Chains A and B, each alone.
Chain A
């Protein structure tokens, strides 16, 4: 069953159609949100909001892009919203002369694979901008082309290619530094 058929089934009100969409794309959505936000709890919250939004506006899916790309676009935009909210909150706290010491949604990314002393994958992503993290994730994990990445980022394909280039260059430099350190 392709994207348009499954969306049509969902719009007809067929039970289980949206569950099939979630089964197919929840993992990718969570991975993208986690890579952008570097916080598991925030990633789950963002994905929940994104899927509910997608469910409500499924009629707007026109089939020009793949359903996966459409969903990941929503996840990316919601993730940016969360990052903006956090930045504003941190600024407000700083202006109030207080220090952010933690709290829900403010803790640093939890380690992904254990907590050994070497640089964890999630720490490498800190040097990338959210846009670069998204481009890298979509290219490496989802196998999207520059044009498809541009669709998610909401920019031209050339800009997406440059963003991906910068992300790959930074990650390579980090890896070489890590190798040199050992």
Chain B
């Protein structure tokens, strides 16, 4: 395999454009053999169509002017306000979206606060409900366990400590 072909394959298999670009700049740009495999600017110009052969600029200009006249008055050339209208509209939409999200979050928080946890409700409302703790182990050894239940709360605190 020729040196230039190896470089071409290497450039093709490199995963990132940045790496490929670095190789092109640092090697292909300096190596005459690799550079010779690329079309020069004169050769590239022979491959493409130039402005003078691409079409009738005069006809294009008349078509564009006809479209512009039909489209809007000359004052509409100043499209600055129209261009700025889009961001304003986007800001309004974004603000409305944020407001709606805030309302939804507030409603969710309110709903959660109004609804007490199911376990607490059961403990308080149903006399037969019991809190049971069979055993607690710390390091595979039975732990000394204390259970607290404050009078004015449904919270139960379990304190477990190592036995000596």
Chain B residues closer than 8 Å to A137, beta-carbon distance? 48
Determine if A165 and B57 form an interchain contact, defined as CB atoms under 8 angstroms apart: no
Query: How many positions in chain A have a CB within 8 Å of any CB in the partner chain?
Result: 58
Main secondary structure of the interface of B (DSSP, over half): helix
Chain B residues closer than 8 Å to A157, beta-carbon distance? 21
Determine if B77 and A55 form an interchain contact, defined as CB atoms under 8 angstroms apart: yes
Q: Which residue of A lies closest to B76 (CB)?
A: A56
Complex Cα gap A176–B33 (Å): 15
Complex Cα gap A139–B45 (Å): 9
Given contacts A44-B60, A161-B20, 17 further A-B contacts (CB under 8 A): A10-B77, A13-B74, A22-B60, A31-B50, A35-B49, A43-B54, A52-B67, A52-B68, A55-B77, A58-B79, A60-B79, A60-B83, A140-B48, A156-B18, A162-B17, A165-B20, A165-B28
Complex Cα gap A157–B24 (Å): 12
Determine if B49 and A169 form an interchain contact, defined as CB atoms under 8 angstroms apart: no
Chain B residues closer than 8 Å to A136, beta-carbon distance? 44, 47-48
Main secondary structure of the interface of A (DSSP, over half): helix
Check if A76 is an interface residue, CB within 8 A of chain B: no
Query: How many positions in chain B have a CB within 8 Å of any CB in the partner chain?
Result: 50
Determine if B77 and A18 form an interchain contact, defined as CB atoms under 8 angstroms apart: yes
- Contacting residue for A11 out of B38, B45, B59, B80, CB 8 A: B80
- Contacting residue for B57 out of A26, A35, A139, A175, CB 8 A: A26
Determine if B77 and A13 form an interchain contact, defined as CB atoms under 8 angstroms apart: yes
Contacting A at CB under 8 A, from B75-92, are: 75-84
Please give the distance in Å from B20's CB to the nearest CB on chain A.
5
Chain A residues closer than 8 Å to B37, beta-carbon distance? 169, 172-173
Please give the distance in Å from B85's CB to the nearest CB on chain A.
10
Please give the distance in Å from A26's CB to the nearest CB on chain B.
4
Chain A residues closer than 8 Å to B77, beta-carbon distance? 10-11, 13, 17-18, 55, 58
